[in-house]
Amino acid sequence: MKKFVYVVCLCLLTAAAFARSPQEIKSDIAAKRQAIQTARSARADVADLKFQLAALSNELAALNTRKAPARLDDGGETCESAVAVPAVPYFDSGLLDENSVNDLPTGTDDYSCGCDGVEHVYSLVIGPNGLLPGRYTLSTCGSSFDTILSLWFGCPGLEGSTLVDCNDDAEFNVSGDEYLYACSDDFGYSSCITVDLTQNGTYYIVIDGYCSSLGTYFLNIGQGESCLALASGCTEAAPNSYCNTASAIEFNVDGWDFVYGNTHDGAFYTDDAACESPVASCAVWYAVTGTGSWMSASTCSELTDFDTKLHVYRGNCGELQCVTANDDWGGYYDNDGVYHEYCPEYDLASYVEWCSEVGVTYYILVNGYNSQFGNFGLNVHDSDVPCVNCDQRDYYFTVDEVPFCQCLTICPNQIQKIFVGPASPEQRPVATWADGCSVARTIPPSGCESDCSPAYPYLYMDWIYLPDQQLWCMDLGSIDGGCYCFCVDRLLPVELNNFSATAGDGQVQLAWSTASETNADRFEVTRDGLTQTQISAENSATGANYSWTDNNVVNGTAYTYTLVLVNQDGSRQTLATETAAPIAGAALITTYSLAQNYPNPFNPTTAITFSLPEVVDVKLTVVNALGQEVAVLANGLMNAGQHTVNFDGTNLPSGLYFYSLRAGSFSAHQKMVLLK
């Protein structure tokens, strides 16, 4: 049901200090329900699993105490205070908590409905001044805990009272080992009774928690139904109960529309394959016409009082196609491990966004997690930010075209491959690129003079050689997509990546790396013009790493180091020069580390700092809460020392992001929050 998200393990800390997110709890609930379903299929005992499931549901309910579903009468606690059912269909909700009492026997110990707990009581009169005799269905579908439902003729425990029926799990054997559950996908978590009430008199409906389970319950009573045909008590009173009667969204001048309703007033809708998350609950529908811009919808509203889900479809109502869906908008952990929701009004709200096509009708379905229903407020927004459907492509260039510049296009969130060849391992291309194509160059001749939307590409993977295809390959990425000017100036036999001089206490550490080498004999290091060491070149087509420490230095004195390449033919080439002054008490970096970004939360930029004890291949990436990569901030060999890079979230939505550093065998992750 839930999409994968990065989870930060917070060990050695108390559960009270670190509340879990709704996504984590619901993931555990889904796994536990699957275990119950498997156990039921094998006709095994599920008592322990139900206790564990009840604990998880109470943990989820604890996140929702401030915005628990609106209760009407909340039931009574004795026969004298029982809430009367005046008519059907009837709906009510309530809360069984530690303040509730256990005064009434349910008869469950004698009738195998499970161990009881605290209860709420309702009364129903059949006959004169009451309801007509007939078949009635009672259910607790959508409740947040494991319920027991009992129906008594007369007050339970008094002389002459009779237990008419009781039910723990709304599970019904269809044939053989096949079982159906009246309350959609909860696998017997709720309760349901269908009974013919023909005797005039007062009946009492008792709602208990299985073995003292607590939480919010929903009571639905209908006439002429059965548990197997139960539709969660949906009244179908809303005019937008169906896709073909969806209410139209009409934006104001700022591109917003706000609507509200109650999903209990909708119709029962079921679709097991809907948008990666099954639908089986009361739902209402809205329709919006695409404008070619990014659109979004959310139930983040003070009116929302239950755990919502949103689905967006397109196509004909009889053959809908999923566009996107969301259960929980989610939140983030701060540096102290405390969970904060993105929606301050309601932490179990939902959020969806999609690229709308001009003239296409999109249907927004509002329903609830685990068949819940209740009031909601729905915000729908047309961002007026154009979006296009883009055909992704890669590019191939021959070495005969070098040098060249060409205007290339890339799609949003695409990783694009660029190939140059056929070429030898020694012919590594030297490439540059600009954000857009309004670029003037003379060498190589400009091929980038187009007026188009800049793509702002970033390096995803530097050049690698593919020997089987005799091609050099590079990957570039873009968040927004657009155009960019890509140039290959030349093919080099030797290319230096970096050269650094890091001062310590009585020493200077030198490090350098090459991207490719051919026909190289050795490297020479000079200090203030005098040769200090010679290191043989590896002549690797994909480059190599080198280091040397100068221990013959005096603290407080500045030294100038020069790196010289000596080719096999004896020719010499100065590659780089660095200056360093050793300082007493200074320490070289000896361990890898990834620091918390600053500031955090941020808008729209933040700085990320990491330390490297040696020259190493580094990749620093950023992903969103769904695990989708949104940026590569570093990718390639880097010098030893402390490094700081900036991350710009201008083109990203507010939310939780994770940044990951991989350097050799070292890896580390941190989280950060973009708040706009």
Task: Tell which residue, 326, 302, 304, 322, has the closest CA to residue 313.
Answer: 322
Strand segments, DSSP code E, in 299-455 are: 308-316, 319-326, 331-333, 339-341, 351-355, 361-368, 375-386, 395-397, 404-410, 414-420, 428-434
DSSP 8-state assignment for residue 357: P
Ranges of residues in the chain with a pLDDT under 50 are 1-18, 65-73, 106-112, 174-175, 185-187, 231-232, 272-273, 442-443
Q: What is the pTM of this model?
A: 0.39
Do domains 495-580 and 593-674 share one topology? The answer is yes
- The domain spans of the chain are 1-233, 243-386, 395-492, 495-580, 593-674
Whether 572 and 566 have beta carbons less than 8 Å apart is answered as: yes
pLDDT of residue 175: 44
Listed in sequence order, the residues at least 6 apart from 419 whose beta carbon sits closer than 8 Å to its beta carbon are 394, 395, 396, 397, 469, 471, 472, 473
pLDDT 10s digits, 582-619 = 877 655 677 788 888 888 888 888 888 888 888 888 99
pLDDT of residue 622: 92
- Write phi, then psi, for 27 (nearest 5 degrees): -65, -40
What is the CATH number assigned to the segment(s) 495-580?
Answer: 2.60.40.10
Which CATH fold would you assign to the domain 593-674? Immunoglobulin-like (2.60.40)
What is the CATH number assigned to the segment(s) 243-386?
Answer: 2.60.120.380
pLDDT of residue 378: 93
Whether 77 and 57 have beta carbons less than 8 Å apart is answered as: no
pLDDT of residue 231: 43
Task: Tell which residue, 295, 269, 258, has the closest CA to residue 376.
Answer: 258
What is the CATH number assigned to the segment(s) 1-233?
Answer: 2.60.120.380
pLDDT of residue 172: 59
